[in-house]
Chains A and B, each alone.
Chain A
Amino acid sequence: MSEAKESEAIRSIEEINEKIKRGDAVVLTAEEMIKLVESSGVEVAAKEVDVVTSGTFGAMCSSGVFLNFGHTDPPIKMIRCWLNDVPVYKGLAAVDGYLGVTAISETKGIEYGGGHVIEDLVSGKEVELRAESYGTDCYPRRHIETVITIDDLNQAALLNPRNCYQRYDAATNSTDRVLYTYMGTLLPNYGNVTFSGAGQLNPLCKDWNYQTIGIGTRIFLGGGIGYIIGEGTQHNPKGGFGTLMVQGDLKQMNSEYLRGASFYMYGATLYVGVGIPIPIINRNVAATAALKDEDILVNIRDYGVPTRPDLRPVIKQVSYAELRSGKVAIRDKDVPSSSLSSYKMAREISEVLKKWVLEGKFFVTKPVEPLPRQREFKPLKIKRKELKVGDVMSREVITAKPDDGVKEVARKLIEKGIDHLPVVDDKTRLIGIVTSWDLARAIANEKRKLAEIMTRKVITALENESIDVAVRRMAQHNISGVPVVDKTNHVIGVMTTDDISKKLIGGRTAV
């Protein structure tokens, strides 16, 4: 079919709304639309169906709520503010604040965050409000400690800078330890795959080319009504990774569709339910509204490599259908896969939205402006000199051989005043390490040769590696020093916690 025919208007937004008003609009959920297109084809579906409803329910960290607390007497210009010990952003007017969902409790840590406060507010629970100020002539009060409920607030506007990711890359872990990430628990040695996204129910997948979704679109948000107010942050339409910025009145929402959450050893967030009705204005929109999990592809990335998200190695490309099947083949092995976002809730949202439209309670909108289809998602470049492992490590490396005697090596450590001694083979390649503690124990246990006592699985660092990454590795293995090796496993230095503390005094930029 020609492109012109594909985008030729079948019905207008106004016509659809007239039908909704009369109660004779044909509304299908995305799943029902898929079935109809499978049985009757796009042509028929495009003719018959007026609206397709979508839904998604997942962790959306770029979410939060603008709050207005109202004035006390005497009044306060809040400079710092907390709700249930979670800090509220106060770089706004006297009693306005923004509570972000990833902000964490100063007493409970990541177990309880901004997302949990939002859920508590929406559930009608009392929330403790604390605020501090320096006091001014017009705002003399310096302190507040009270409790509030959502009804006490003048405004509570959920305003989420980035929701509803069109697709999201899946995650796995190549390392030999468990990783706790925002993609959940990732078992060692490609032990599992986790993924996020509603796939065939996702609103932006259902209008893949953003022909009906845009600024001003009325949506289902957290169980209430919300609006798209712009492209989301990190909106990346070229890659098919569009995002939305949305806003809605928290007071109308429902804790069923807004859930405070905490990812173990990672942080707090909020599960948000979003649903968008897709008016079937032409054949192209009808075709994308019928996209299936099989058609929507993402990469599985290795979270074991601590690099920028887009540089994490791609293990393979898979469809949402494969991911949802419960297993994915990685290196000829079936690996269990499971979602982090709820397909059940996404489906429920698409059904609720369908009901609202059928009952004439919810009308479709013509966007004021379309979403941008061109936008570059740029990384942040570090323009100042940063210290690398190579800048901090000691280059005068003293090594030993596996046949060396324990006592003579102990003497060497004392003479040189060092604690870590890499053990190398005849070709000076790293094969082990001994520490002063290993030697003390070896002497106590009357061991003779280094080969008997050395640690063979050595944790190392690379010269051009970030210090933060190497330090995290040292902390994870509870060690105080690492040999620095080149690509061929030759020892070129040793970096210890002593080296780091000495070099980093006076700030990181001091080389």
Chain B
Amino acid sequence: MRVKLTYSHEVADKPILADIILKTGLLINILEAKVNAQKGELVVAIPASGKKLEETLAVFKEAGVQVQKFTTVLQIDNKRCTSCGACISPCPTKALKFDSDWAIQFDEEKCVACKTCVAACPVKAITVP
């Protein structure tokens, strides 16, 4: 799950993310980071779902971090997609593969929204909102 974490300046100097990684043992991946005098914004991929995800998000909230879930990670326009496969092998997390009928199958859990597939798609069928 891709999540945007917003740190106010009061909590900006605390190693909250490192602390949560150690406590939960989750391999949280930082995708984007913007920090300025007012606030810090991180986009992270949390490899969890369901209860485990909600618990992890609750820990962030308790620590004073605003949490916003990205509900759609990546959209494939099935009318445009020809199932050529050009997006598959460049994907660093193997989130894209063929199903048994040679159509593209997308695994949202694995996606870290790096947008490699967006560039690799020859017919511009993939967008990341």
A residues bordering B, Cβ < 8 Å?
57-59, 180, 184-185, 187, 192-194, 259-264, 269, 271, 326, 336-345, 347
Contact = CB atoms under 8 A, between A and B. Distances in A.
10 contacts: A184-B122, A187-B89, A192-B89, A193-B89, A326-B97, A326-B98, A338-B88, A339-B86, A344-B83, A345-B84
B120 A336 contact: no
A340 B90 contact: no
Given A184-B90, A185-B116, A185-B119, A342 B98 contact: no
A337 B90 CA distance: 9
B82 A264 contact: no
Interface residues of B, number: 23
A194 B91 CA distance: 12
B116 A340 contact: no
Centre residue among B92, B94, B120 by max chain A CB count within 10 A = B120
- Main SS class of interface, A: strand
A260 B91 CA distance: 23
B84 A187 contact: no
A194 B86 CA distance: 8
Nearest to A273: B82
B102 A338 contact: no
A338 B121 CA distance: 12
B103 A261 contact: no
A340 B97 contact: no
Contacts of A261: 122-123
A338 B119 CA distance: 15
A185 B120 contact: yes
B123 A260 contact: yes
A345 B83 contact: yes
B86 A271 contact: no
- Main SS class of interface, B: loop
B124 interface: yes
A298 B103 CA distance: 24
A343 B99 CA distance: 12
Contact of A184 (B86, B94, B98): B86
Contacts of B98: 326, 343
A262 B88 contact: no
A338 B83 contact: no
A132 B110 CA distance: 53
Contact of B83 (A185, A260, A264, A342): A342
B85 A339 contact: yes
B78 to A, nearest CB: 12
Listed from nearest, the 7 A-B pairs whose CB atoms lie closest are A338-B88, A192-B89, A338-B89, A261-B122, A339-B85, A344-B102, A185-B90
B101 interface: yes
Contacts of B91: 336
Contact of B84 (A180, A271, A337): A271
Contacts of A336: 88-89, 91, 94
B82 A343 contact: no
A345 B82 contact: yes
A312 B102 CA distance: 30
Interface in B75-129: 82-92, 94, 97-98, 101-103, 116, 119-120, 122-124
Contacts of B88: 326, 336, 338-339
Nearest to A186: B90
A193 B86 CA distance: 10
A15 B94 CA distance: 51
A391 B105 CA distance: 53
A271 B122 contact: yes
Contact of A338 (B85, B116, B122, B123): B85
B86 to A, nearest CB: 5
A426 to B, nearest CB: 43
A222 to B, nearest CB: 13
Contacts of A193: 89
Contacts of B92: 187
Nearest to A192: B89
B122 A192 contact: no
Interface string B15-53: 000000000000000000000000000000000000000
Nearest to B79: A256
B84 A264 contact: no
Nearest to A327: B89
Contact of A342 (B84, B90, B116, B119): B84
Contacts of A194: 86, 89
Contact of B122 (A57, A269, A347): A269
Nearest to A328: B89
A254 B112 CA distance: 36
A224 to B, nearest CB: 18
Contacts of B94: 336
A260 B97 CA distance: 23
A185 B97 CA distance: 16
B90 A187 contact: yes
A200 to B, nearest CB: 13
Contact of A57 (B82, B86, B116): B82
